């Protein structure tokens, strides 16, 4: 969610019971602005909070002129001092996927691999590295995965300029109430995967400036998003069931939207059994 509209946005996304204490809200108002100044971000988003066993990580993202470029991520344990996270690599993500269990809350905690194939173990031992992964790397990989899989925006909120960069659509007035209840009005804010697979007939209806991302309609498994109207039908709230804790809110016919994650940072692999 936008740092500038944090207090209002937290109220809208609080349907799940998770939020921030007044102390954190107050300090974020100041520290996110300072982040913007220090790192020269154009936009700062408060991404959310991953709850570990002994502490919590608060994550913020900074965006540059091209909103679709890889974002810089920062984390903090107390919302006052922020540290830049290294960019996520494929290897990090693959390693982190094998880890299970909660985050500990200590960024220098090292996980030991519990399940390794014999081949992997040989390979790793040959290199002289021990099969350990630090919690910081796991954090990076988890945030990247969550953004990639369930970070969403409403359709039309961003446009692709002819030069290729993506920026906010100033003509976006919000989705209408009927549109807001459909999953096809929301896009994953990441590199599209399924766009090329659409039939020519579907592609003819698309508007290349606004429809350059994957929509939520064809997410697997079907039903992994819940769409609800809260606060008497004035706010549309989407919650992901794949990553429990990700909440997206949008007030129809206004420009307010955003997503935030409050959770334990674990993927819900039991989803097919639970639906």
Partner 1 sequence: HGPYQPHEPGYGLYLPGYSPYDDQIPDPKSRMLAIQNAKAYLLKSSTTSGLNLYDHLANMLTKILDEQPANAVDIIENISKDVKWAQFQKKMDTLRDEHEILPTFEAAEKHKALFLKANGEDEELEEEIGETPLPNVMETAFYFEQAGIGLSKDETYHIFLALKKLISVQPIQTCRFWGKILGLEMNYIIAEVQYHEGEEEEETEEEEVIEEGGTGMGEVEDEDEIEKEDKPLKSTYKPPPVIPKEENGTGANKYVYFVCNEPGKPWVKLPPVTPAQIVCARKIKKFFTGRLDAPVVSFPPFPGNEANYLRAQIARISAGTQISPAGFYQFADEEGDEEEEGEGGRDTYEENQDFQPLSVAEMVNSLSTWVHHIQSILKQGRCVWFNPFQKSEEEEEDEDEEEEKAEEPDELQQEIGPPLLTPLSEDEEMQNIPAWTAQASTNLIPQYAVAILQSNRWPGAYAFASGKKFGNIYFGWGHKYAPENHAPSLPPPVQAEYPRGPEVTETRDPTLEEELAFKAAKEEALAAAEEEEDEEDVEDDEEDEDD
For 192, how many CA atoms within 13 A lie in the half-sphere containing its CB?
16
Q: How far apart are CA 77 and CA 58, in angstroms?
A: 6
Sheet with strand 72-76: strands edge to edge = 83-84, 72-76, 56-63, 43-51, 257-263, 246-250, 235-240, 225-230
Q: By CB under 8 A, tell whether 168 contacts partner 1.
A: no
- Residue closer to partner 1 (CB basis): 208 or 233: 233
| Interhelix angle 90-97/135-150, nearest 10 degrees | 100
Q: Which of residues 214-253 bind partner 1 (CB under 8 A)?
A: 223, 226, 228-234, 239, 241, 244
Q: Which residue among 21, 108, 117, 199 contacts partner 1 (CB under 8 A)?
A: 21
Q: Which two tokens stand for residue 120?
A: 């992997």
Q: Which residue among 22, 118, 196, 204 contacts partner 1 (CB under 8 A)?
A: 22
Q: Which two tokens stand for residue 188?
A: 């994953």
Beta carbons of 263 and 27 less than 8 angstroms apart:
no
Beta carbons of 2 and 257 less than 8 angstroms apart:
no
Q: By CB under 8 A, tell whether 254 contacts partner 1.
A: no
The site map against partner 1 for 44-83 (x = CB under 8 A) is -------x-xx-----------------------x-----
**Closest distance of CB 204 from partner 1, Å:** 19
Sign of CA pseudo-dihedral 72, 261, 214, 197:
positive
Q: Which of residues 77-116 bind partner 1 (CB under 8 A)?
A: 78, 100-102
- Residue closer to partner 1 (CB basis): 11 or 122: 11
- Residue closer to partner 1 (CB basis): 184 or 226: 226
Q: By CB under 8 A, tell whether 4 contacts partner 1.
A: no
Q: Which residues bind partner 1 (CB under 8 A)?
A: 11-12, 14-24, 51, 53-54, 78, 100-102, 170-171, 177, 223, 226, 228-234, 239, 241, 244, 264, 269-270, 273-275
């Amino acid at each position: 969610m936008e740092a500038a509209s944090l207090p209002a946005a937290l109220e809208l996304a609080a349907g799940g019971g998770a939020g921030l204490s007044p102390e954190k809200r107050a300090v974020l108002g100041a520290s996110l602005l300072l982040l913007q100044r220090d790192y020269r971000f154009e936009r700062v988003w408060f991404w959310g909070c991953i709850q570990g066993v002994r502490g919590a990580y608060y994550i913020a993202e900074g965006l540059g002129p091209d909103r679709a470029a890889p974002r810089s991520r920062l984390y903090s344990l107390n919302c006052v001092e922020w540290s830049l996270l290294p960019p996520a690599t494929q290897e990090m993500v693959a390693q982190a996927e094998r880890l299970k269990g909660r985050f500990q809350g200590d960024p220098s905690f090292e996980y030991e691999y519990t399940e390794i194939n014999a081949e992997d173990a040989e390979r790793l031992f040959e290199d002289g590295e021990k099969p350990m992964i630090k919690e910081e790397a796991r954090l990076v990989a988890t945030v990247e995965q969550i953004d990639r899989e369930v970070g969403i925006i409403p359709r039309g909120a961003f446009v692709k300029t002819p030069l290729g960069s993506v920026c906010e659509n100033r003509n976006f007035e919000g989705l209408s109430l009927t549109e807001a209840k459909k999953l096809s009005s929301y896009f994953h804010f990441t590199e599209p995967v399924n766009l090329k697979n659409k039939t020519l007939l579907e592609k003819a209806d698309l508007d290349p400036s606004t429809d350059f991302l994957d929509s939520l309609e064809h997410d697997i498994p079907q039903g992994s998003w819940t769409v609800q109207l809260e606060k008497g039908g004035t706010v549309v709230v989407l919650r992901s069931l794949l990553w429990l804790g990700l909440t997206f809110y949008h007030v129809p016919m206004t420009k307010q939207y955003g997503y935030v994650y409050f959770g334990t940072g674990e993927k819900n692999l039991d989803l097919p059994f639970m639906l």
